[in-house]
């Protein structure tokens, strides 16, 4: 099956710093989503981004499907950005399945 690798596995930032999280996937995809799991365990959908670039406030994401990676940018980080960031993909052949395969996540801690 498709493999999803995220890096770095964990990251500590000072408030105000910028960061880039990476998601590599082993096969073509037609669906890629970024999620944030906050310290209370809630999973929030950040981006649906199978290709191209999107921005939402201090967050932006870019997916280069042909090179099989996606990047999540966090600018001017805040303590509320802490948590685990997951990338999830759906394979891009054989018709739509809606089955998301999740990466192992990047654990982010933003210190005041």
Partner 1 sequence: DAGVIQSPRHEVTEMGQEVTLRCKPISGHDYLFWYRQTMMRGLELLIYFNNNVPIDDSGMPEDRFSAKMPNASFSTLKIQPSEPRDSAVYFCASSLAGKGNQPQHFGDGTRLSIL
Q: What residues make contact with partner 1 under the rule CB under 8 A?
A: 30-31, 33, 35, 41-45, 48, 50, 86, 88, 90, 96-102, 104-105
Nearer to partner 1, 50 or 82 (CB): 50
Nearer to partner 1, 7 or 50 (CB): 50
Quote the least distance from Cβ 15 to partner 1, whole Å: 27
Sign of CA dihedral 23, 24, 26, 28: positive
In degrees and rounded to multiples of 5, residue 34 shows phi and psi of -110, 135
Show the CA angle centred on residue 60, arms to residues 11 and 70, nearest 5°.
Answer: 70
């Amino acid at each position: 099956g498709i493999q999803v690798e995220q890096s770095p596995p964990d990251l500590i930032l000072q408030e105000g710093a910028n960061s880039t999280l990476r998601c590599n996937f082993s096969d073509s995809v037609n669906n890629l989503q970024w999620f944030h799991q906050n310290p209370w365990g809630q999973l929030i959908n950040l981006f649906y981004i199978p290709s191209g670039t999107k921005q939402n406030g201090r967050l932006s994401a870019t997916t280069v499907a042909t090179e099989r990676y996606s990047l999540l940018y966090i600018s001017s980080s805040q303590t509320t950005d802490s948590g685990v960031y997951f990338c999830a993909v759906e394979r891009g052949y054989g018709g739509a399945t809606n089955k998301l395969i999740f990466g192992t996540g990047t654990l982010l801690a933003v210190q005041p």
